[in-house]
Amino acid sequence: MAKKETAKTEPKTLDFNERRTQALAKENAQLRAYISTMMTRLQDNDDLFSKLFSIETSVLAATDPEDMCFTLLRELRSQFSLDLVRFWFDKDSLIGNTQMSALSDQDLIWIESGEINAMGLNRRNVWLLQMQKDGFPWMQPRDESLESIALLRLGTQERPFGVLGLGSNDQERFAPDQSTDFLAHLAQIISLSLEHSITHQRLARLAITDSLTGVQNRRFLQPYSHQPLSSWFGKGVPVAALFLDMDDFKGVNDRLGHAAGDDALTQTCDIIRQHVRAQDPLIRMGGDEFVLLLPGCKQDKTQDIAHNILHDVQNTTIENEVLSVSIGLAFSAKDEDLTLTQLIKKADKAMYVAKALGGNRVESAQHKPAE
């Protein structure tokens, strides 16, 4: 009887072992699949952070906010194969006065003050939208192929200064149920980097700007003072310099007060600016002395500019006193390439000649005749 009972239990034992083996094999397969999935995610994360590190490196190497934005546009498109990368910047925010001429209207759109808050975009770091379902009023007809978009708030919830849009023709690329941790981190990096760059640029600008007149001050010239003019304005570019000194400025201050003297300086600068290009450097050397540099300006045109400035200053009065200015001209021919200091000294000497001849006139330094 014992042998028969043993024979009866053997199939059950084999059946249990077989089921256990099958279960272990299934668990093993699931474990391998899980490990494979995790390895894929780790590799994807590694690739993601490698791209992020590349972008951070490029951003930190940017020389100014404009360069930073241009770099971000290029890097984000290439690194992540995006169909749209665009900035919307609040024109009345901290970035509002920043030069961005290198960015096209495809890359940057200036928006009115308060629009970010009015849209509710300040409430979250990142918004993921599917265009057919959610839509987005800031999009343009040329963006009609986009299916999904990520909107990254730049700045804090209380003080947003812009929005960065990342768009794709794939509807699932920025689906609303996806994680936004990486995008939020990216938004924070861009925000902090731009804020730092803008602050640094403003401080640098203040250091070389005359607080009264708003033109450059003497420190602006220091990096260029002993270098050939070609290193600043380009090889073969002729450069003219006007050295301007207000006549009897001390008398104006003594008779009318320092407020009137300040008014005379600011009005003179305004007159000069009306006759030259916005990019032509105008520097207050100190007191009532100014230097105006005119790269690429012909000698006859420079003479006209000097006489027009002289004429307009003569027609300006401060508390019924007529202003006047003495102007010295100097030229660096395209084959001469003086240093900046040499050119300014020549213009300065010509100005003193104008002063010695009674002031309120234009005098030119000796220069090589144009060929």
Q: Can you tell me the distance from the alpha carbon of 117 to that of 92, in angstroms, rounded to the nearest whole number?
A: 13
Residue written as token pair 């279960």:
23
CB atoms within 10 A of CB 312: 18
Closest CA to 241 of 313, 326, 299, 287: 299
What is the full DSSP assignment across 55-91?
HHHHHHH-SSHHHHHHHHHHHHHHHHT-SEEEEEEET
CB 154 within 8 A of CB 161: yes
Helices (H), ranges, the chain: 2-61, 65-80, 115-118, 181-207, 230-233, 249-256, 258-274, 299-314, 340-356
CB 168 within 8 A of CB 148: yes
Q: Which residues pair with 209 in a beta bridge?
A: 216
Catalytic pick from 90, 280, 288, 348? 288
CB 329 within 8 A of CB 365: yes
**Coil, helix or strand for 264?**
helix
Radius of gyration from C-alpha coordinates of the chain: 35
Residue 288 among the catalytic residues: yes
Q: Catalytic amino acids? A: 288
